[in-house]
Amino acid sequence: MQYLPLYSEYQARRHEVKPGITGWTQVNGRNALTWEEKFDLDIWYVDHKGFVLDMKILLMTVVKIIKKEGIAAEGSETMPEFKGSGIRVRETSDG
């Protein structure tokens, strides 16, 4: 909640879906990602969500738990605090 006022309009789109126990960002790097990478992955999920993708995320989550990947960012136990990054506009490609 403390980050909400810091989000750009683009970054706030991550809240267009309800939070869950796992997610696209978590299985694609989790805390090893920068905040900008996390926002891009969250918005990608918002634009592509569906049953098949959700099943893929659940399967990938099991693998990540077993391998213990992406738990901490470099130099931090988890993730550095988000301090805002200004307005960010994502390119129109499906990347």
Q: Work out the pLDDT band at 13, boundaries 50, 70, 90.
A: very high
pLDDT single digits (tens) 81-95: 777 775 555 544 454
* pTM for the structure as a whole: 0.70
pLDDT single digits (tens) 21-71: 899 999 998 888 888 999 999 999 999 999 999 999 999 999 888 887 666
| Spatial distance between the Cα atoms of 66 and 51, rounded to a whole number of angstroms | 23
CA count, 13 A, side-chain hemisphere, 62: 5
- Specify the DSSP element, H or E, that contains 51: helix 51-67
pLDDT of residue 75: 57
CB 91 within 8 A of CB 85: no
Phi-psi region of 67 (alpha: psi -120 to 50; beta: other; left: phi over 0): alpha
Q: 2 vs 37, which has greater pLDDT?
A: 37
pLDDT of residue 17: 94
pLDDT of residue 70: 60
- What is the length of the chain? 95
